[in-house]
Structure 1
């Protein structure tokens, strides 16, 4: 696996993992690369700096080092949105479709909720006029 820094035609920077350089080239040629910020399809590899570690301080994935770039404004905004949703809404897990419908019909107390739904369940909610929207992140907590 290889992680590439990418940039879209609108100047949005983001990263993505690929099986190989050839896999990146195949996806790009097929028009399957999409900007993680705006959805644009004109995506190129950005200039990348190598990630080097020393015997004293090896690079650990997911941990910022002294040479790490700060999070982009888009990443910061997404993190803030996720924190706001998780702090101000009830996580209802896979019961999202049932709970959203009950709130819409007035049989459950009105409150902000978030959770997970199958594509067909979400489609039915939208068709029935239940106000729902997909979130651009996965919930940070799961219920068993």
Structure 2
């Protein structure tokens, strides 16, 4: 079993509390997800995220094939970090840490995503394609945050 890692940082010229206000609302997730992913929330959402919260949605990662994805917010420490983990979905394992660290320039937001692909050898063969797709999702998010929050995208 091979584990893959995406590590991305983005400087937000906001305080951790201001950045947190955007990310704590699960309804904002579709606003920063690429439209071509076919992301649709299928369950009810509370006003604010909390540890233990389950989020269910569908995604269309490849070739128009919709997949159910269920994640749980497993850890949360306002306004510094939260973790979402896949409970059911397209990966064998998905663990996404969202970390917000105050700097003199604002908040350094770090995404650490550890994931394992299903299907054994076939998953390993597809790994470069999946890694490119995952990076693309987070690159889109970088630009979306620039639009949504009025912050630089680079």
- Provide the TM-score with structure 2 as the length reference: 0.21
- Provide the TM-score with structure 1 as the length reference: 0.22
The structure, 1 or 2, with the larger RCO (C-alpha pairs under 8 Å, 6+ apart) is 2
